Structures are given as C-alpha cells and as structure tokens.
Structure 1
Amino acid sequence: MSTSAGSGSSGGSHPFGALREQLRDAAATFADDAGAVPGILSGMVDDVDRALREELEIFPVCHHSPASALAMVRRLREKQPKVIYVELCEDLRPLLDELRNCRLPVALQAFATDIDGFPPDWAPLSVVAPITEASAEYQAIAYALDSPDVELILVDRSTDHVFQWTPREPAEPAEAPAAAGGSAHGAEDDTARHDEAALHGDAVGIEIGDLRPRFAELEAHLLHHGKVRHWSEWWDQYVEQPLVGADYDTYRQVMVMIGSLFRRLRPDRHARDAPDEDRERYMWTRIREHLAASGADPAGCLYVCGAFHAASPVEQFGLAAEGEPYEISPRTETRWMYGLIPSSHSAIEAQFGLAPGAVSIASATWAKALKRSGVAPFRPAGEKGGKKKRAVRGRAAQPSAPGSPEGVADRLSGFLATPPVLDDLDEAELLGWCVDIVGLARRNGYLASTADAIAVFETSILLAGMRGRGRPTPYDFEDAAVTCIEKDTVPGRRDVRRLCEILLGGDRIGAVGYDALPPLARDVLDRLEPLGLNLQARTNQRALLDLQAAPELKPCSDLLWILRRLLGDMARPIMGARRLGERSIQESWDLAIGRNQRSLVELGYEGVTIEQVLEQRLRRDAWAPEATAATALEAVEEAILYLGSRRLADELGARAVELLTAERTVDGAPRVLRQIRRLLAHYRAAEPELPRWCERFVTAGYAHYCTLLPTAFADEATGLRQVTAMLGFLFEMESFALSLGCDHTQLELAVRQSHPEAPDKVALVWAARSRLGLMSSAELRSRCAELLANPLVIPAFPRYMSGFVQALEPVPTLTPFVVEQLSKAFARLPDSVLLPWLPKLITTLRDGARELVPVLVREAGRTFPAALPAVDAWVPPWSARPTASMVQPGGADAAPGGVVARLLAAHPATCDAVAGSLGYDAGWRTAEPGDGGAQRLVAGELLTRYPQTADAVAALLDLRPVG
C-alpha cells in the first residue's frame, strides 16, 4: 500500500475508525501472526475509506453482475452525471453508438491482420469485449447514448497497448494478453454448446471488473467453507444476492472491500500487480487529461471501473494525486479494424472461466430483481429487441457527496455484523421449476414422472438447508434435478444440467443488426436477397438455384462460391460443382450465414466487397515468402473460377513463372503438373490463344526440370513421386516446348546423366530411356529377366516394379510391359518376397498412382482371358512355347509362319518398316532350289524365331494356327 493512501490513522473522526479497531482486536485475538493479518484487515478498511473520499465518484463493479447493474441504474437516475468514464479500451468508443442496432449479447471487437511491432506468429490479433444487459457498463452506455448532453469516455488502454504490454515469450500468444487484459480462461462445454461457446474464436477477452481471487488456495478455501461447487455459485450466494437489495453506499463499500481483499491476498503481490497498476495509471492519466481539456466539474462525473481497480495503491490514484505523470507509450503502426460480433452466454462463460449457466442465471436474477424493485433499466432507443426510449427521470440531488468526510458513512460494520437474511421459500416458483423440468426431460427421452417432480422439490429444499440457505437457489435446483432425474444415463444429446440451464433462461445468443454490419457484410446480404431467405437466422437455410430456368440467380451462385472459398461451411454446396470448364445448371446450398456472423464481420475488415477480399488474399498467397509455383498456379485457377479476371490471372501466372525459376527443390512438381495441365486444357478450350505467361511457364519449366533432373534422381531426399512428375512435365510438354524454341538434346542429356542407385528410380530411368529411344523394348525385357534370374536381386524386385508403375504417368506406352512384369513377378517371386510386397503395392496404387489403376485394369482385361473356362488353356503371350505354323495340315505353306510370310511378301513396304525398326536388313532374296520356287524373306526368319507374333497376327486375321 502506498503512503499516499493517507487514511491509515485510527482516529475516531474517521467514519471507519471503529471498524478498523474491531478488526485489529479480532486479528490480535485469533491470528497466529500478529503482524500480517492486522495489516491486511486495516489495509482493507483504508482502501475503502480512500476510494469513498475520492473527489471523483468511483463506481466499483463486477462483470455481468445483476447487483452492479441494478445499483448503476439507481445511481444514474439519482445522480444524472454529465460525464461517465468507463474502464474499457479507449479505441472501442465509436462502436458503442451501434449497440442500438444489435440484439444483446454482443461483443465489441478490434481486429488486426497486418501487424507491425508484434511477433509475426501472433497474427491475427483480436480483442473482444462482450456486453450483456445485466451489466453495469451497459446500463451506463445506454444512459449516455440516450442523453445528448452526457459524455461517455472510455479510459482503459487501447487494444494496441493490450498486446504491447504482453510478455514476448515463445509461449502461446493468445494466452499472454489475458494477464494484462482480464482473463482468457477456458471452460469445458458439452457438444450442444460448442458452436455458441466458439463465437469469440481465439480472441483475447476484455472485461470490466474481473473480481475473482487470484490466489488458488483462497478460492478453494472459500468454496469448501461455502459448501458450493464453483466460484460462480459462491459469488451468487454470498455477494450477489445480499447486494441486490442493498442501498448504494453499502454496495460501494462492500465491493471495494472485496476488491481490496482479493488484491492483498495474492502470492508475490507486487510482481503480479504490475500489469494492473499500469492500467490504473493509464486510466487516471486519461481522466485527468479529459477533465483538464473539458473543464468538467468532477462532482458531475462518474468513474465506472472494476472493484479490483477501485482499491488501487498507485501514486496516480485520484484527482489530487501528487505522483509523477504517467508516460503513455505511442501505439504501433498496426492497422486496427473495429466491429461488433454476436456473442452468447456460453461464449462469455467459456472465455472468462465461469461455470456453465452462470451468465444465464445472472440474466434470470436480473429480470427478477427488476420486477421486484420496479426499476426501469436503460435501453438505447431503437435497440433491436428492446422497447422504445425511456426518458431519464429523477432528481439531481445526491444523498451523499463523495470526497468529503461528512459524506462518508460506515455501512460496512452493519453489513458484516448482520447475519444473512434467509429469504422465505417461494413455493410457487420452485414448483414451477420442478414441473417444467420433468416435462422438458420427458421431451428429451428421460423416463421422468410426477414422482420425480416431487423428489426434485423436496431434494432442492433439503440441499438448501444443508448449505445454510432458507430458499433454494437455481444451483440447488440443478443439483436436485440431476440427482433425481438423470440418475446414471443420458438418453439424448442433452443432460439434465443442460436442460436446467434451458429452463432457467437458456443460452441467449445475440445478433448484430444490419445497420451495424460492415459494408462488405451488408453487400453480401443485399446480393443474396433474391434467394428469398432469412439469412440472419441462426438455423440452416436451404437455397435451391435453377440457373437454367432463372438465370438472374447466377450472380447469387457466383457469390456463394466465393463465400465457400473464403469462409468454408458458411455456404456448403449439396448439389453442384465449380471447376474449370464446368458450370452447374442446378445448385443446392446449405447456408449458415446468421450462425457464422462473426466470420462475416471479420471478413468485412479486409475490404469493401467480397471480390476485393478474395483478390487481396490471392495476391497475398502468391507473394508470400513461402509461396511456390504450385501456390501461384492454384491462385490463377481460383482467379479464373471465382473472379473471371484475365488481368489478375495473367499477373498471378507471371508470378508463377518467377517462382518456378527460383525454386531449388522439386517438392511441388506433382502439384505443378496437375495445375498446368488443367490450365492449359482450359485455355485451349475457352481462349483463341494461350496467354503469354503459359508459354513462358512451359519453356522455363522445361529448362528448369531438365537442369534439376540428374540431381533429383541421385538425391535420396527427393521422392519418386516428385521425379515422376518432373518426367511427366518434360514428356507431356515436350512438343509444345520444342515449338517454342527449346532443345530436345537438353532432355536427352539430362536423362543420360541420371544415374540413380535406388531400385525404383533405376526403373524410372529405364522407362525414360525407353521413351526417348535410348533403350529398346527387348533390352528392357532382358534387364528385367536378369533381375528375376538373380537370387540376390529378387528381394529388391518389388521396388523396381514400383518404379515401373509410377513410370506409367510419364510413359503410358509401357502399360503392356508393366502388366507383363507384374504377372511374371506374381508367378515367380517366392512368398517370402511377394507377401510383404503386396501391402506396399496396394498403397502405391491407391495413393501414388490412383489415376493409373484404370489404365492397368484395362490393359489386363485385354491381355487375360475374359471367361473362367479359358484360363486353363490360356498361355500368356510373353511365354515361350513350341513354334506354331499358320497353315492347314499338309498344305504347301507348312513352313513356320508361312501364311504370314506370304502376307508380308504381298506387302513388302510393311515388311521393310517392321524389319528396319527391329534392326534387320529388310532385303529380298530368291528361294534356293528345293524350296518349291517360293520367295523367302528375312522377315520369315524373324517369324520363325518369334512364333508368338505369328500367332497374334494370325488371330487378328482370323487364321487358324496349326502346330
């Protein structure tokens, strides 16, 4: 405690002198440590005295507290202040005027994506300040909004300072600001409340009046002796209910005392208080600055802050403080955007660590207190869901004048000495709860009856009595209902505790009105209006679009696809697709725009129209430091699909060329190949000529991949899929690249210089050489036969086959060869090699070569017999067998291949071409004497050597082979 407190003396002239002496005597009698406890107790009294003597009236509050809200309404009607200072981030002030267009609860939000001065991994930065009707700050805001002569000033540090004061440690960035800005505790929610609890996302929460023990042992002690389960229940029983009907002076003194207690009972108090004390210095500095600039009379002002800050020990506390001025650091260059987002009771509970249902119960308590007291709350005129403007009435006289000794009366002594008043049992209310919970439970699958209602009634009274209450609270009722109805099973989606929350008020979900939405969100709703749906409803809306019968809905379809791209499940297509070259004539959509209003609001921070936001994001992705050529090509495709912008597509395509030439790895080669295939097919079908960037991309890619090919084959870190994609690009784009001036020799040299060691890559090189004519089919078969004949190589043969399977993409003409080698492998490999290989082969075909499986299946269908009876007599075409002649028995053409030889003799040009391709001299010679005068061909010798060819040709010509 700073020496500036000034009220530590115990003279009888002070209103709290007697109370101070009583506490000191009690501490001396009962405390073991005669030094610490008296200091804490007397210090609490000093804090109360100091806060109440301050010239500027301090109104201590607890967040979302009906007692605070009720006291605020009464004080505002009585005092009618002209200036209200509120503990809330000062840069959120413009948002308060839009509250009249919303349905509470909502949250004020500050959002930043382009950050400057903060660690890059913190982006995006988001701060929310939720507001409910049962809160003192909202009543003050509503009063000021409907009073033109009242000035509302927010004095807490800006959202930029929230993150400036965050320790820059490698810990989670979202948790760090919680210590400086309130709390960001988590809470376990059931599945039914998950969506509502996530309304705030991962934003940092700002609250007015975080009044909770920051000493775990103290909180556990209070819960144990208070016979309650969690802090929300303790606060409701021991603070909220007693203060709901208390007078203003008693309310202020009790709240400051609680704030002082929790502040003083903290381990390592001076170190932990540093962020809070900086906030207090900040707020008092802003208050003094405004008073000096406006010349306002402090007697007509009201300062609304958390009770924790009302008991502040800083030297800048108060208008008459003599401490040195506090230096406020400038804001960073981060560009902040502001808006309102929907909130809910469960979202507030989850973010600030409150018990599930606590805010709903507080809302019910608020409604009951208003009805009992007859006090009319403040609501801004025109508020969605509210009533018409209420005139502010009341007398300006004040019952006490804060800041003067004679205006402060000791109410704490009476409050602390008076035993709690036990409310009489409200049987009608409790009976209504019991009957309603049984009916609600039956509708949710529970076998509840009238007997259960009676049991809940009696158990509620029993639990209240055990806990020292004369009247059962909602928490007692919840426990009784769980005990008597739920038992040990939950038949449906909701348990009994959740049903009690629904019964007592439910999870109220707010909404931001149309006028309070950013321009982008309003533009989206306007453009989707032809659908005729209630897009702000929180339920799913089904939209059916017949684009052929109603072409005027095409702009709605275009907008929905962009929403799908940017916001995911907000717009989910049930029927219809959008791909290059495809346009649906009918579409069906599930729309959840009202449920995802927060995402739409945050999207509005990035631009004025949704097309502008998409264009910015595509450019940001393409020019990001980690961008690749595949990323830029994907951006090109999306620019064509969603924006139809040739200018943007050309700009992104040029960026793709730059990124491709700058890449030093080939990790993105498969994506590059897929993307450029689709784009070239689209441009060739839809455009009269290819864009210039496509030609540059093909030529640059041809040279780039030729250069990297030998290194990629030799590098063990480069996967087979990446090398296959490189070869696919080179072979598929070769004719186009050669027409643009590339050199085929470059590709041939790259393949010749490739000398891999891995078996799968070796097979891939063989396939590439076969494709380029550097290796004949006979040599390829010979090498595979040598592999199968070598016992030392057999265990590695499956890896060779994996390479051949992958090679089907760049060299599809190898399909018959791959089917042949797979058949030989299954026929010859031992089980010890074959069985471990099967899972890997299946995985390769499923993941790495999914598009190649149909090709293999079709080729196998042409090779293998189609009927089961033919399997026994079937001989594979690649198997050696006795020579078969294609003549009738005893005919003149009994020589092997005689009929085929005569065919070739009749068509010498064909014979020349076939013999030349096989490396033979296709010369003609006359038959020797004894050959019957018939001409013989060199090709006849070939047919003798390869009888299976003669059989195949004979089958095609419908000739019958004769053995």
Structure 2
Amino acid sequence: MKPDSTATTPDSVRNAPRGVASPDPAAGPAGSFEALRGQLLDAAEAFTDGPVALPEILSGLVDDVDRALREELEIFPVCHHSPSSALAMVRRLREKQPKVIYLELCEDLRPLLGELRNCRLPVALQAFASDLDGFPPDWGPLSVVAPITEASAEYQAIAYALDTPGVELVLVDRSADHVFQWLPRDRPESASPDGEPAGPDGAGAAGSAPPPDEAGLHGDAVGVELGDLRPRFAELEAYLLHHGKVRHWSEWWDQYVEQPLAGADYDTYRQVMVLIGSLFRRLTPEGDDRLRQDEDRERYMWTRMREHLGASGADPAHCLYVCGAFHAASRVEEFGTAVPVSTDEAAPRSGDGSAPSSYEISPRTATRWLYGLIPSSHSAIEAQFGLASGSVSIAAATWRKALTRGALKPFQLDGQQGGRKRPGRKRSTSPAAPEPVTDRLSSFLASPPALDGLDEAELLEWCVDIVRLARRNGYLASTADAIAVFETAILLAGLRNRARPTPYDFADAAVTCIEKDVVPGRRDVRRLCEILLGGDRIGQVGYDSLPPLARDVFDRLAPLRLDLTKRTVQRALLDLGGDPELVPASDLLWVLRRLLPDGAVRPIMGERRLGERSIQESWDLALGRHQRSIIELGYEGITVEQVLELRLRRAVWAPDATAAGALAAVEDSILYLGGRRLADELGARAVELLAAERTVDDAPEVLRRIRRLLAHYRATRPDLPAWCEAFATSGYAHYCTLLPTAFADEETGVRQVGAMLGFLFSMESLALSLGCDRVQLELAVRQSHPEAPAKVALLWAAQFQLGLLPLAELRSRCAELLTNPLVVPAFPQYLSGFVQALEPVPALAPFVVELISTAFARLPDPVLLPWLPKLITTLREQARELVPVLVREAGRTFPGSLAEVDSWVPPWSTRQVTGVTPASPAAPAGPVADLLVAHPAVCDAVAELLGCDQGWLPAGRSGAGSPHPATAALLGRHPATTVAVADLLSDRNPVD
C-alpha cells in the first residue's frame, strides 16, 4: 500500500490558490490540450494515491495555457532581459505586424521612449520625486527605474512601434505613483516594488561583486521589470538547482529555458512561457503579498487595455499585449478584453469571495513626478533585480550569437547611438491572419532537447583569451593552463549533462585552473571571464535627452576643452590669472563639488575659503561616471546654483536643523553663490535656531563658524550684518542661561563647556556694545558648581578671566592639588580642563606650561610614571587641537638649545609659590646700575610712588651707591619696564 502522499505534500503547495479551474467555455473548444491534460493526469495518478493537490495543479497548468492562448487579444509572454524572448519578439513582429502594442511598463513613462534615440543602451527610464504629498516623509526622495537593454523583448517592441508608421505603443502598467501607493507603509529601505528584498542571485557562488561605480548606477531607486520569472516557492527553486546541477537560478534558466527556446517556433515559445508562469504562480504560497500586488497590476493593465480599445475602436486581432509570463497566466476576473459586469448575487466569485466588478483605479497623489533617462549597465541591472553576476552580459552575448546564427535583423531605433542608419521599413497593408491554437507542448515536453555539437573553435578562443587576460592582470598563466581550462570545461559540461560547455562551465573551469590563489586588490578570474564574454556594457544618455541643467553644465564647462562624456578621469588645469575666461568654469566646478558625490569633481590644487581665491587650480573630473547624479540634479532645478539655493533653504528649515548647520549654509552661500540676500536670510534663521536649542552639543561648531564669518565680514564690509549682531546678543544671553546647567550636567562634555565659554568671552566686547550686561555672565559663573575635575578647572579659568580669581590664588589651589595624594590620580583631568580653557582664556597658556612643569618636577617617579599614560590619552581625546597651542607656548618658555639648559632659570621660580618667598635678587649691575646712579631723581620718584622709602645703599668700591634690594627686586620682576625706561633715558643704549 502506498503511503499517504497528503502528509508529505508541503503546506504551501497543498494550500496554493486555486483560482479558475477551467477555461471559459465561450472562449472556444477546450479540446486542443485534452491530450496533454490526460498525460499529466495519468502521470499524477501514477505518483499519488488519493485526492491530493498535484492532479489539480497539473490540470490547472493546462487550463491556464489554454485560456491565455485563446484570448482574442494576443498575449506575448516574456521574461526580463531574455534573449529567447527578444528573438521570438523579432520574429513575431515581422510576421504579425500589429497596429497596437500594449506594453507592461509604467504608463507615465511613455513620453520618454522617443528619447532613447539619443542614448547608448543600456539606459533606464526614471521617475523621480523629491517633494512628497501623500507618502511618508522619510521615504523621500522617491525614484523608480525601468532598465532597457538591446537584448530585451520590450526594446524590440519599442523600436518597432516608434519607427513603423501607423503603429501605436500604449503603456498599460501602473504609474510610478501607484508603485509606491501599493507598498506597505512600513516597507524596508531595500524592498523591491513587489515587496521582496533585492539581493544578488547566488551571492558568494556567482563570483565577485561588480565594482561599486558600475553596480550603483541606479542608486537606491525601486526597479520595475518586465517579466519576473523565478519560483516564489523556495523548496521548488532549491530542488531545481540541486537536480539541475547548477549554482544559481540564472544558470538554471539559461540551460533549461533560454537555450531550448532560442530556436523554437513562436507557438511553442508562447505555450512554454505561459506554462512556466502558471507553474510558478500556482506554487506561490497562499497569502503572499507579492501575488496580491501582481493581481492588482493585472486588473490595472486589463482595465487600461479595455479603455483604450473602447476609445480607439482598435481590433483586438490586430493588437499585441506584451507582458511577463507570470501575468500571462492570470486568473483575475478582469482577464480578457470582453468581461461582463455582473451584479447578480449568484455570479461567480473571486478567490477572496468578493463578487466580480469593474476595477476602479485609484487616483494619483499630489506628488509632483519628474521624468528622465539615466545611464545603466549590466552590473546595475544584476544588482537591481538579484541576478547572478555576469548573467546579463552572457545574455547579451547569447543574443548576438543567435542573431548571427539565425540571420535575423533586430529592430533598432533610427539614430540610436552605436547603431547604423537604416532605410525605413515597408509595412504590409494587412497583418497575418490568426492561426488556430494547437498543442505544441506535448511534443516539446516529450522530445529530448536538440543537442548542439561542441564548438571547439569558440571554446579554444575563450581559453586562449582568458589566459592572455589573466597574464595581463598578474597571474602566472601559461599555455598549459589554457589546455587545462579547455579539458576541464568539457568535463564539467559532461558531469552536468550538457552537450557543450556553457559560459558558466567555462568560467568554473577557468577559476579552477588559473586562480590558484587570491591576491588582494587583483581582479579575480571570474570577473575576467565576465569581461571576456562581453564585459559590463555601460549605457549613456545623449546630450539632447539630458535635462536643461545637465546640458547647461556641459555647455559652461566647454572652455575646459575636455570630452566630459567619457567615463575616464580627466585632468583639468586652470590658470585663472592668465585666462580670466576660466573663472566661471572654476565657480561651476566648486558648486558641482558641493552637490555631486565624492569622486565626480575632485580638486587637486587650489582651495576656496572665505576671503581666499586661488589663481591656479587643478581638477580631476569624472562626470561621465556620475551622469546619473547630474541628471537627478536636473529634477530639482534649472541651474546648479538654483539647486544649491534650494538645498540650503531646505536644510535650514528642516525639522532637525541646527544653528551650526545654518551657519554652514551661510558660509556655503557666500562661497558658492555670492550676494547678501540669501546669506542674510539663512543667518536670520541661524539666530532663531540658536535661541530654540536646549542643548550645547554643537557649541564647538557654532563657535568655529561664527568666528570665521565675523572675520570675513569685518574684512570685507564696513559694518556687520544685522543677523551677526543679533546672533552675538542672542548667543550671549542663550549660553549665559545654559552655562550653570552645562557645568553640572554629566552628559555635557568638557569640550562643549569650553566652547560656550569661548563664545561668551570672544563675543563679550561685541555683545556689550550691543546692549548686553556683563553681570549676566558673572552671575552664571557664580551659579556654576561643577563636580568633574576638568569642569572645575574650566570654572577656575572663567573666574580668572572675569577677575574673580587672582592668579596667585589659582596657583595656590593647583599646588594644593599636587600635594594631595588622593587628588593626584585625577590631576590629568584638571590639566585637560586647563588645556580646554586655552580656547576661552588664551592668557592662561604660560600658567598651564608652568603647571605641567611643576607637576613633572615635584611628583615622584612611582606616581609620575603611571600618571603619564593617562595624561597623554586624556589630552589626545579631549584637547587634541589645543595641544599645539600649549607646545608653542612651551617653545617660547624653555631654552632653545642644550647649552642654555644648565643656566636657564624658570620664569616662575622667582615668584611666590606655596607661601615661600625666594631670596631677594642681587642689585642690578652693569648698564642698568649705571643708568640708575646717573639719574637718581627718577629712581627716587618711582620708589616714592611705590611706597619704598628705604633709600640708597652705601657706595661700593666704584664709589656709587646702589638701589635698595626691594627696588632691585621690583626691577627684576618687571624687566620689560626697565628696558623701556633705559631706552628712553639712554637714547637706546643696550641694557642687559
């Protein structure tokens, strides 16, 4: 007894949607496929026992084929970028010569098709929207692309319709707006339009990933493809790959579908494609979101076609409907050109139980869509739709070989870049009469595939070329490797039941025999095989099809005398002083550098800063590689300056805009756009943003940018703009208010507090002149009570700057820290705070040098050595940019040569430290003493002014008296004053 096969049938197959069980009797006799139906049911009974899903599925496949082929409007099923579909399309168009072609493509892309004449394929039709209305804001910008290659059925239909008089081409698929309307609101960023994340087919097995600049030509746009044929039942795909002895789906499709159908007649091709589409459709798990969206697309397309037929009066027999094979096996109620609308409750119901009715297309949202063409490539198509690396290039090579072998002449748009002009084709007055539907599947499925003989010449050419290419790329390949690749390819083809090696067998053999090791930075052999078999063809949009902005860019860069359409990197040398005509081109290049991605426009020599302009510049230009980015700029404005202005406005009025970002926008507007109106408007917005901020995270950036802008305005204008004055007063009050909180908040860093103090002290004179009160800052400092050591040091520095803490007391506090063994481990944090204080209080630089030197001199080695690493890491993490200031001050303080070290006395050694008064210095000698003796009245007057009444010392051996030690100490403490007085009184005599 056979086991119960129901228990072993997967749930996804057992619960697959049933739909329409049999074709409509009114469509014609149902006996055309009865023989095939009987064979499949007999086979199902031989493998199963009892009522299971398999007989119903097999019978449903035949019903779907019969229904699709009996439709009055001829359905042409295709697969995306399939050479066999393109070949069948060429043959059918020349035979049928339809008057109307309905194409499964977004209907709002129709005006772009004529622009394909100015392009070099592959290119992609694009719909782009940045201003959203009706979609979640975080989705923007929205972008939809539909790639077009020469080896595709859709391009052959487009070329035939556009170049044949009297033929109408109608796009019937959902619009770009509906593509996003039908997506779930919580869709992931990488979701495809059908809701399935896009990823490489057979990643890791298909070889190396394509280069980023080639695979990223579509950006993050949503791809729309014509004919997605891939099992949505994971177990089925795994089963087919395992028993087909292939690594990924693209290879399976090429071996078992593309190659057998390349030379098949049209009826066989149609029936096989519909059969495959029906199989994948019926094995789709129930409740799949993609299936529901596919059914909505089918209702949409059939509704559009019936509307056009009713409005134009076209005869369905003279029309052709080009759609994916998955949609050709549709079972929706709207299928067909004549669908009765029934309101009877007893009418047949759809799969979800609802009564059939005319499909109502929802209106589009208020989003404004812009349309254009962008360059594409084989790698971009593979990355967009999850195909194996190199599969589209292999399909293009198969297409060219099939055209040569079949002596077929493909359709090509007149004027197409890369093509030749051809005389207009004459069209027959009457199309071919429709032929009766006959069963071709029985004989096709029963007969073994036609085996092509081994083409030794082709395989030998591949092996020799791959060895030559491998040697150019650093591999130690030889003639022996070519022979090994040849034999291994034949062996692999035999193991995989192939009569002749395919490009996939050849690539596997080349990897096995040549790539003995992988060297970083070197192209792997599989990538070399892709280049050999056709390479990654990259398309280009012609000048006439570019948006006005892109054409304006190329026109304004014409004085550079470079072919900017090339994909190579080109060097432009600009002598702005010798050739002033290049100044506008330089200005444009700086704007493009601001707008385009990295690498498109890169300055090698020259820079542009506030108040600085280079007289010579050197640029690396790769605009040909970034044509998509330039085209998408055209969706935002007419000129790049307008786009930059719009982006600056959008950035400062965004919900997450900050004062630092607004100041950066002001700087960009001055650098790239000039004028005062926009800068003043953005500056006024910066004032609003600063007053509304409740954190000080961006305080360092705000301080750096406002200082630079104030310096620029003071150097170029007689007065400051009104917004700068408002920013100074508003920022002064704002940071005074937040200062006590920032000192106490543990999450606010030392760098931010130091930047706040830097703003307050550097803007103090300007703010006070505009009406601010210094008492506000003093109160804020007095109300601050930090606990972190670094912030305590910052507070002391602020108090010193305000005159609330004398330097002697500050020195005394730091000395107490060094004498406290409990505080010594945290002393690096205090030093970090003092170093950060160099930003708001630069006068503390000598004291910080003194403090570090005192610490090194007084701390014992057991304390100092463990303490040094922490000091270095603290300064590097918290005060990296201020350490050079400290180093320069130390360079001015310490002796400059080794010989001076022994006699060098630190300037702070004569000062009162920790309550110990150093010995009084000796009375000055030399020219200074002679000067004082020569003018005793001056010395007496200074001494009386300072309160020194001790008088003169007795005369020495020289017979002249000398000043009292107190006066001498005073003079030694202020040597600069002594030198100045000496210069005045001795007519600039040298003074020691």
TM-score, normalised relative to structure 2? 0.89
Matched, 1:222 2:246: no
Aligned residue for 2:54?
Answer: 37
Q: Residue 174 of structure 1 aligns to which amino acid in structure 2?
A: S
What is the aligned counterpart of 1:333 among 339, 358, 366? 366
Shift of 1:466: 2.2
Does 2:947 align with 1:923?
yes
Amino acid at match of 1:356: S
Q: CA offset at residue 902 of structure 1?
A: 10
- What SS is found at the alignment partner of 2:907? coil
Give the C-alpha shift of residue 260 in structure 1.
Answer: 0.5
CA 1:789 to 1:460, structure 2 compared with 1: closer, same or farther past 3 Å?
Answer: closer
Task: State the Cα distance separating 1:569 from its structure 2 match.
Answer: 2.0
Structure 1 residue 556 corresponds to structure 2 residue 556: no
CA contact (8 A) 1:177 1:204 kept: yes
Matched, 1:357 2:390: yes
Q: Pick which of 840-849 and 309-318 moved more.
A: 840-849
Match of 2:295 in 1: 277
Partner of 1:380: 413
- Rounded to whole Å, the distance in 2 between the matches of 1:911 and 1:412 is 123
Residues 21 and 63, structure 2, Cα contact 8 Å, conserved in 1: no
With over 3 angstroms needed to count, the CA separation of the structure-2 counterparts of 1:885 and 1:271, relative to structure 1, is: closer
Q: Distance in 1 between the 2:198 and 2:808 partners? A: 78
What is the DSSP-based 3-state SS (H/G/I as helix, E as strand, rest coil) of the residue aligned with 1:439?
helix
Cα deviation code 1:340-377 (max 9, x no counterpart) = 11111111111111111111111011111111111211
> For 1:538, which of 554, 564, 567 is the aligned residue?
567
| Equivalent in the alignment of 1:24 | 41
CA offsets per residue over residues 95-123 of structure 1, 9 Å max, x none?
11111110000111111222222222222
Q: 2:432 & 2:618 partners in 1: Cα distance? A: 65
More moved, 548-557 vs 749-758? 749-758
Does the 8 A contact of 2:202 with 2:248 survive in 1?
no
Q: 2:23–2:64: 8 Å Cα contact kept in structure 1?
A: no
Name the structure 1 match of 2:774.
744
1:886 to 910, 922, 926: 922
1:464–1:471 CA contact under 8 A, matched in 2: yes
Percent identical: 72
- Aligned residue for 2:887? 857
The offset of 1:863, in angstroms, is 2.4
Indicate the residue corresponding to 1:241 in structure 2.
259
Equivalent in the alignment of 2:195: 179
- 1:123 maps onto 2:140 in alignment: yes
CA deviation after TM superposition for structure 1 residue 269, in Å: 5.7
Determine if contact 1:8/1:43 at 8 Å carries over to the other structure: no
* Match of residue 642, structure 1, among 672, 680, 686: 672
What pairs with 1:261-272 in structure 2 (closer than 5 Å)? 261-268=279-286, 272=290
Alignment match, 1:759: 789
- Amino acid of the residue matched to residue 92 of structure 2? R
Partners of 1:539 and 1:202 in 2: how far apart?
Answer: 24
Task: Indicate how the Cα distance of structure 1 residues 682 and 271 shifts in structure 2: closer, same or farther if over 3 A, else same.
Answer: closer
The size of the alignment, in residue pairs, is 941
Q: Deviations over 1:388-423 (max 9, x none)?
A: 145334656666627xxxx11111111001101111
Of 718, 722, 726, which residue of structure 2 is paired with 1:696?
726
User: Which residues of 2 match residues 157-556 of structure 1 at below 5 A?
Assistant: 157-169=174-186, 172-175=188-191, 177-179=193-195, 190=208, 193-268=211-286, 272-322=290-340, 323-393=356-426, 395=428, 401=434, 407-489=436-518, 493-556=522-585
Q: How far apart in 2 are the matches of 1:692 and 1:124?
A: 36
Q: Does 1:138 align with 2:159?
A: no
Matches within 5 A, 1:445-844: 445-489=474-518, 493-567=522-596, 568-830=598-860, 834-835=864-865, 837-844=867-874
Q: TM-score, normalised by structure 1?
A: 0.92
Aligned-pair distance for 1:84? 0.9
Equivalent residue letter for 2:414: A
Choose 105-114 or 245-254, whichever is displaced more.
Answer: 105-114
**SS, match of residue 688 in structure 1:** coil
1:665 and 1:21 mapped to 2: Cα distance?
A: 78
Cα distance in 1 for partners of 2:679, 2:873 equals 37
Whole-Å separation in 1 of the counterparts to 2:652 and 2:923: 69
Contact 2:192 2:198 in 1 (8 A): no
For 2:394 and 2:885, the matched residues in 1 are separated by 66
Residue 116 of structure 1 aligns to a residue whose secondary structure is coil
1:606-637 deviation per Cα after TM superposition (whole angstroms, max 9, x unaligned): 10100000000111111111111111111111
C-alpha distance in 1 between matches for 2:839 and 2:239:
71
Structure 2 runs not aligned, ≥5 long: 1-17, 341-355, 911-916, 983-988
Is the CA contact (8 Å cut-off) linking 2:68 and 2:75 kept in structure 1?
A: yes
Separation of aligned partners in 1, 2:556 and 2:151: 36
Q: Distance in 2 between matches of 1:271 and 1:122?
A: 20
Aligned counterparts of 1:390 and 1:227: Cα–Cα separation in 2:
47
Q: Which SS does the other structure have where 1:273 is aligned?
A: helix
Give secondary structure in 2 for the equivalent of 1:87.
strand
Cα distance, 1:478 vs structure 2: 1.6
The Cα shift of 1:489 comes to 4.4
The residue aligned with 2:6 is none
Shift of 1:856: 2.0
**1:918 — aligned with what?**
none
In structure 2, give the amino acid aligned to 1:862: R
Partner in structure 1 of residue 88 of structure 2:
71
Q: Distance in 2 between matches of 1:90 and 1:168?
A: 23
SS in 2 for 1:108: strand
Secondary structure class of the residue paired with 2:75:
strand
Specify whether residues 861 and 495 from structure 1 end up closer, same or farther in structure 2 by C-alpha distance, changes over 3 A only.
Answer: closer
Aligned to 2:348: none
CA offsets 1:536-585 (integer angstroms, 9 cap, x no match): 10000110001011110000100000111111321000000000111001
Q: Point out the more displaced range, 347-356 or 521-530.
A: 347-356
Q: Distance in 2 between matches of 1:21 and 1:900?
A: 131
From 108, 115, 135, the counterpart of 1:91:
108
RMSD over aligned CA atoms reads 3.1
For the structure 1 residues 186 and 531, does the alpha-carbon distance in structure 2 shift closer, same or farther, using more than 3 Å as the test? farther
1:731: Cα distance to partner?
Answer: 1.4
**Separation in structure 2 between the aligned mates of residue 148 and residue 391 of structure 1, nearest angstrom:** 9
The superposition leaves residues 717-773 of structure 1 with CA deviations (integer Å, 9 ceiling, x where unpaired) of 222111211211121122222222222222222222222222222221221121122
Change (3 A) 1:960 1:640: closer
Residues 900, 312 of structure 1: CA spacing in aligned structure 2 closer, same or farther, 3 A cutoff?
farther
Letter of the structure 1 residue corresponding to residue 562 of structure 2? L
Residue 906 of structure 1 pairs with residue 938 of structure 2: yes
SS in 2 for 1:682: helix
Amino acid at match of 2:130: T
Deviation at 1:227, TM superposition (A): 1.7
**Deviation string, structure 1 residues 31-76 (Cα, Å, up to 9, x no partner):** 3565211111111000000000111110000010111001111111
Aligned equivalents of 2:753 and 2:978: distance in 1?
41
Deviation at 1:797, TM superposition (A): 2.3
More divergent stretch after superposition (81-90 vs 864-873)? 864-873
Tell me how far 1:206 sits from its aligned partner: 0.8
Letter in 1 for 2:89: M
Compute the displacement of 1:846 (Å). Answer: 4.2
Contact map agreement 1:63 1:209 (CA 8 A) in 2: yes
SS in 1 for 2:882: helix
Equivalent residue letter for 1:679: L
474-483 or 812-821, which deviates more: 474-483
Offset of 1:480 from its aligned partner? 2.0
Q: Name the CA distance, whole Å, in 2 between partners of 1:184 and 1:438.
A: 28
Instruction: Give the whole-Å Cα distance in 1 for the aligned partners of 2:962 and 2:658.
Output: 63
Q: SS at 2:654's partner residue?
A: coil
